[in-house]
Structure 1
Amino acid sequence: MLNYIWASLILIGLLVAGLLGRFTGDSGVITSALNISKTAVMDIALPLAGMMMFWLGIMRLMEKAGLLELAARALAPIMTRLFPDVPRDHPAMSAMIMNLAANMLGLGNNATPLGLKAMTHLQELNPHKDTASNAMVTFLAMNTAAFTLIPMTVINYLSAAGVKGAYQIIVPTILATACTTLTAIFVAKALQKLPVFRIQPQSSPPHVSLTAPNPGSDVAAPGPTAVDVAEEHPQRATPKARFLFMLLLVLFAGGVVLELAAPSLRQGVLEATGLSQVMAAADQRAAEAKAASAAVTADATAQASPLRRLMDGASGVAIPLLLVITLGVALIRGVKVYEEFVEGAKEGFSVATRIMPFLVAMLAALAIFRSSGALLILEYVLTPVLNLIAFPVELLPMALMRPLSGSGSLGILNELLARSDILEYIKYTAAIMFGSTETTFYVLAVYFGSISIRKTRHALAAGLTADFVGLTMSVVIGRLMFA
């Protein structure tokens, strides 16, 4: 499934870019793809390497001090039911507990290294090294569900935008994320039983005999496996596939013609289809969003109430308290803290380098789709449908962007909070929506990329279903509590 989605993002983006004239230029699809590829390596993967080293070192100390075992025992009744394939005393169990706890406390990016460590341990139990196990899919679905007790980031932005009662979204966010988490678990467990998502026998590496056959024996030497034959002789294209490929070439050729012809031809096509008005309105909205985001960020600390300062302080104390307890218990039990920390940190950089290709692949495809204008057209097409189901049209950009990009959805949130022409309950709903959903595609790329999983099975379906429930519950709860 992920293969088709990734290819569709790129191909649709290129076709729309040809129509709108966004092949080249500073905001063109190629420039955007190259820039985001650089960002994926320099601004995401490499900084993550340092965080990985730090947290893997701390986890090593917690393991040696017995804290991970203590946490695993406390939550064992729940975790063993959710992950029956993971032994109760396996390091994967404690690593998953630490990751989920960090997410609940709103520690943000600090939860990622703990999750990557958990995936590494789960891979140790996985007999099919290129295919996601049931435990991996369930764990990843719970991550994308993003169960949160204190949505600190959203509260800060609400307060900075001058929205009264920012802390009122804590309970709605807990309710919404509880629904998404239950949905994620249920869907992950249900889909793993379907034949289309079952682990196929060929996912296991073929057995290779290390002893040469006896020349006088009647046993023939093992021939090529079915997988080898399939790789040497790719399947022939069906008539339907050939037709779709020819249609793709024709559409792309149309974009090339518009690119090479006089600008008046493209302008005439855009005006005839109504796309010129759609793009003009979208450009204006993007400019307003950028200005609003900058204004909200600049005022982030100017309107801090005593309660907000207390919540900020509590969040800031969480990690130092964890370090004090970890180092204190480790020293009491005679653990060589410096040596064990360094030993645990050694793995951090290798994990970061493994996820780089997966990050580049996913973020480049998303950048092409977004910068081409395809996302804006999709918003325009879906607006009439949303009006019929009473889904606030103002929240559509957030709903579409949230699974794709964290920074993009944060910019949309700030734009909504700064607008004076929309109702307050929509601002609350947007905040709940941001806090109760996750960047599913990014999470899949990072977590599965860290252990070189190619066949993700039903992980994407479970994550997107949880996102859909989160979006729906955000609207329902926002309307009930704030409308």
Structure 2
Amino acid sequence: MALNIVWIAFILVGFMAAFGQMLAGDLGVFPKMLTGLFDTARTGFDISIGLVGVMSLWLGLMRIGEQAGVIGLFARAAAPFFRRLFPAIPNGHPAGGSIVMNFSANLLGLDNAATPLGLKAMRELQQINPQPAVASDPMIMFLVLNTAGLTLIPTSVIAIRQTLAVEQGLVGFNAADIFLPTLIGTFISFSAGLLAVAWMQRIRLLCAPVLAFYGGFIALMGALYVGLRGLPPDQLAQRVSLIGSLTILAIVALFVAAGALRRINVYEAFVEGAKDGFGVAVQIIPYLIAMLVAISVFRTSGCMDLLMRGLAGLIGALGINTDFVPALPVGLMKSLSGSGARGLMVDVMKTHGVDAFPSRVAAIIQGSTETTFYVLAVYFGSVNIRQTRYALACGLIADAVGLVGAIAVAYAFYH
């Protein structure tokens, strides 16, 4: 119901805004909207088809891991923590291991690995869903924590900042100086999403496993900061790439080795799991296209720009420092479109300079929040969920708190 209302609002508000612009003399607004409509529909299809190979790869590897017993081992290791967050998942169910793998890939910023693993987890959660068309409590918790976008190191944002710094002739610019602020920002977003869903599902978080997780994560943040502090951007990117690649390939090797030791037919297990990759990728096409075209209408009609001007005026009237306002479109767009937010971030950096305060705010926002509507559309669409209950509301809460947190952290570090 929530996605239905949002979808209708995007289309109709965008159309009315464009109609008003046409009456005011802008005869090019509707052709521009139509072009955007077709372009985003094609983009949605390309994204879905592009997932086929990656989906087949990871579903095949996950099938090996399941038959070798490694997935179950991961699930048991993380059981004390995830049992608190997902009490409805039976002990030893494969969904627990898939969720662990998905969060691990997200932490390392490995989007290509995280999405297939997330879709795999959703399919397994659907197996224990008493109402197949309605999002279950574990699904909502899983989706909202995904939209919170918990990531240790924003590698792609650092790479973009470094490239633009070279173009702008900034000598000695440290593109990785957003590392710790982004880490704090994404942790704030994750915590907000967790608290929102826990409150709705009456989950008690003041317990040893959850406190141990928070303590361990804070310790990990500190260790990463100490270990990577002061490295030049190119060396930081290289170290991060090594950590992520080594971790994923080590897991692949572990799956294959465990399968060989258990004397299963590893090749046949991989092929059996990979066959599902095409079906899953194709199934999300209509859901993804539906969301992308609605976002395109809202954006190309100028509604996003109008919203930004209104927010800037409101913030100024309240007497709040408006230095961060040029970065706000990145935060609002990030909930709608990851590629759109990335484009807006680059635009802010080119307009104000990559070392300017608005550019730093935009970079922190881009690295510490996630694409809520995209995640909801793809993940729920992959298992034909039509009633999302309060998933969207909690996801937007995580986004809003993460946005405010990112701005506050930027002021604390750079202003």
TM over 0.5: yes
Deviations 1:191-238 (A, max 9, x none): 346xxxxxxxxxxxxxxxxxxxxxxxxxxxxxxxxxxxxxxxxxxxxx
Q: What secondary structure is seen at the aligned counterpart in 2 of 1:305?
A: helix
Q: What secondary structure is seen at the aligned counterpart in 2 of 1:465?
A: helix
Instruction: Give the superposition deviation at 1:81.
Output: 0.2
1:15-26 map, 5 Å: 15-21=16-22
1:263 corresponds in structure 2 to none
1:187-266 map, 5 Å: 187-192=196-201
Residues 426, 478 of structure 1: 8 Å contact kept:
no
Q: Which amino acid aligns with 1:417?
A: M
Q: Which amino acid aligns with 1:28?
A: K
Q: Which amino acid aligns with 2:18?
A: A
Instruction: Give the superposition deviation at 1:425.
Output: 3.4
Residues 192, 458 of structure 1: 8 Å contact kept:
no
2:350 aligns with one of 418, 425, 439:
418
Q: What secondary structure is seen at the aligned counterpart in 1 of 2:284?
A: helix
Residues in 1 aligned to 2:298 and 2:312: alpha-carbon distance in whole angstroms: 19
Residues in 1 aligned to 2:161 and 2:111: alpha-carbon distance in whole angstroms: 18
CA change 1:114–1:83 in 2 (3 A) is: same
Residues in 1 aligned to 2:279 and 2:180: alpha-carbon distance in whole angstroms: 40
1:393 aligns with one of 321, 325, 341:
325
Residues in 1 aligned to 2:235 and 2:187: alpha-carbon distance in whole angstroms: 28
1:3 corresponds in structure 2 to 4
Residues 99, 112 of structure 1: 8 Å contact kept:
yes
Aligned residue pairs: how many? 373
CA change 1:317–1:383 in 2 (3 A) is: same
Residues in 1 aligned to 2:250 and 2:164: alpha-carbon distance in whole angstroms: 31
Instruction: Give the superposition deviation at 1:34.
Output: 2.1
Considering only CA atoms, is the larger Rg found in Structure 1 or Structure 2?
A: 1
CA change 1:394–1:84 in 2 (3 A) is: same
Q: Which amino acid aligns with 1:7?
A: I
Residues 145, 180 of structure 1: 8 Å contact kept:
yes
Residues in 1 aligned to 2:27 and 2:357: alpha-carbon distance in whole angstroms: 39
Residues 352, 359 of structure 2: 8 Å contact kept:
no
Q: Which amino acid aligns with 2:247?
A: A
1:132-147 map, 5 Å: 132-147=135-150
Instruction: Give the superposition deviation at 1:58.
Output: 0.6
Q: Which amino acid aligns with 2:37?
A: A
Residues in 2 aligned to 1:383 and 1:25: alpha-carbon distance in whole angstroms: 24
- Structure 1 residue runs of 5 or longer lacking an equivalent are 194-302
2:209 corresponds in structure 1 to none
Q: Which amino acid aligns with 2:312?
A: T
1:180 aligns with one of 154, 165, 189:
189
User: Is 1:343 paired with 2:253?
Assistant: no
2:300 corresponds in structure 1 to 371
Residues in 2 aligned to 1:35 and 1:431: alpha-carbon distance in whole angstroms: 26
Q: What secondary structure is seen at the aligned counterpart in 2 of 1:161?
A: helix
CA change 1:415–1:25 in 2 (3 A) is: closer
Instruction: Give the superposition deviation at 1:116.
Output: 0.6
Q: Which amino acid aligns with 1:452?
A: N
Q: What secondary structure is seen at the aligned counterpart in 2 of 1:85?
A: coil
The alignment's C-alpha RMSD in Å is 2.0
Residues in 1 aligned to 2:259 and 2:331: alpha-carbon distance in whole angstroms: 45
Q: What secondary structure is seen at the aligned counterpart in 1 of 2:78?
A: helix
1:362 aligns with one of 266, 269, 291:
291
Select between 320-329 and 171-180 the one with higher mean Cα deviation. 320-329
Q: What secondary structure is seen at the aligned counterpart in 2 of 1:147?
A: coil
Residues 89, 96 of structure 2: 8 Å contact kept:
yes
CA change 1:137–1:159 in 2 (3 A) is: same
User: Is 1:428 paired with 2:360?
Assistant: yes
Instruction: Give the superposition deviation at 1:423.
Output: 5.9
Deviations 1:241-287 (A, max 9, x none): xxxxxxxxxxxxxxxxxxxxxxxxxxxxxxxxxxxxxxxxxxxxxxx
User: Is 1:168 paired with 2:177?
Assistant: yes
1:113 aligns with one of 100, 116, 127:
116
Q: What secondary structure is seen at the aligned counterpart in 2 of 1:28?
A: helix
Q: Which amino acid aligns with 2:302?
A: G
1:475 aligns with one of 394, 407, 414:
407
2:377 corresponds in structure 1 to 445
Instruction: Give the superposition deviation at 1:448.
Output: 0.4
1:13 corresponds in structure 2 to 14
Residues 106, 114 of structure 2: 8 Å contact kept:
yes
1:38 aligns with one of 37, 42, 48:
42
1:148 aligns with one of 140, 151, 156:
151
Instruction: Give the superposition deviation at 1:109.
Output: 2.7
Q: Which amino acid aligns with 1:313?
A: L
Identical pairs, percent:
41
